[in-house]
Amino acid sequence: MSKLQPARGTRDIYGDEARRMTAVVETFRRVASTYGFEELSTPIFEFTDVFRRPLGEASDVVSKEMYTFEDRGGEEITLRPEFTAGVCRAFISNGMQQNLPCRLMSNGPAFRYERPQKGRYRQFHQINAELLGPENPEADVEQIAMAWRLLRELGLGDKVILHLNTLGDVESRVAYREALVAYLEAHKDKLSEDSVRRLETNPLRILDSKDDGDKVIVADAPLLSEHLNEASRAFFESVKAGLEAVGVPYEHDERLVRGLDYYTHTAFEFVTTELGAQGTVLAGGRYDGLIEKLGGPAVAGVGWAGGIERLAMLSELDLVDVRPVMIMPMGEAATLKAFALAEDMREAGLTVLADRSGNLKKRLTRASKANAKFAIILGDNELEAGNVMVKELDSGEQWEVPFGGLVASITA
């Protein structure tokens, strides 16, 4: 290999992109903490069953996209494809059911083997929020309201639309599945290959097919809303009333489904038109049976995840332009003193760079390229007098100050 490159679907993150992604995470932490959420960090890899059991063998994630391998001990391990299953495993493993409700926020990388495209990678990063315990629709409203607040803080209020639907309870979904399968069987010869496979395993996913032929067939398919029982209707009406009460605008999208088996009742997506076909920037829903599928107690849950790369691409956060101070010792004795002065400035919260080579002219040129605000010059004469020379690079103004007055002089 003549030139080393990152593996397909991965890339190096640095510079403004890294700063933007960090700003998204920091904003998420700040917003989520106002709702009482606490940080949870789960392993990047888990035993494969942690994901296979709740996500379902028929889901695209399990059947096509998971990075699964056998480790040296013979255990089957999978890199995290999403957060919710791992968070619920941690909930069970750590006995968190003793402290319900649990409000847990996480962030970090996840991995799926799929075709890379704008805003989508094989190693990507997510923010994730899970509220475990409450079975009432008010919990769904709180989670969606928190997501909406985050998006507005990121400057995306005018760039996204909330799509909202209900998947109903188990009884409603069984009734709808029967009606949907009966309809799709009558059009089986016109369905795409993927949809024919899903017809046997996960027919609701056909509603979300991107195949043009499938879209024509799905357009006339039965609606889930026509098969909701009274309990499911009442739950959804409460969610909509709550969103209206807190001022979260939404569109009822009756074709919205979730790609994973554990969802029930509320499903939602915040969608933008600014990222092409992959327009979902944040999505989630309710998953009341998931913890039981993992072998835990019957504990309800509702949560969401957002792609950090996509949010960073769209966000209008003002990145703080930190201008460093450049300290320039001239000589060995001055270099030792410069170490101490640099630490004093850092203690005061300043960003300090040191330039110890070349003549003064070259050093000042490098300081300008680094967008430094001040150059701190320390030579033998300054060292003997107990002073440093401070040069403000924008104006060219310079002055001498005693060592003990340096921090006050440049932070005034």
Q: Give the residue among 219, 159, 148 at the shortest CA–CA distance from 183.
A: 219
Binding-site positions: 82-84, 112, 126, 130, 258, 262-263
Alpha-carbon dihedral 306, 311, 312, 315, rounded to 10 degrees = -150
User: Could you give the 3-state DSSP secondary structure of residue 151?
Assistant: helix
Other Cβ atoms closer than 10 A to 362: 11
Alpha-carbon dihedral 252, 253, 258, 259, rounded to 10 degrees = -170
In which residue are the tokens 């009558």 written?
A: 186
DSSP line for 69-93: EE-TTS-EEEE-S-SHHHHHHHHHH
Asked if 221 contacts 177 with a C-beta cutoff of 8 angstroms, the reply is no
Residues 6+ apart with CB under 8 A from 271: 160, 161, 162, 163, 279, 280, 281
Binding-site positions for L-histidine: 82-84, 112, 126, 130, 258, 262-263
> Cis bond leading into 109, ω under 30°?
no
CA–CA distance, 405 with 327 (Å, rounded to integer): 15
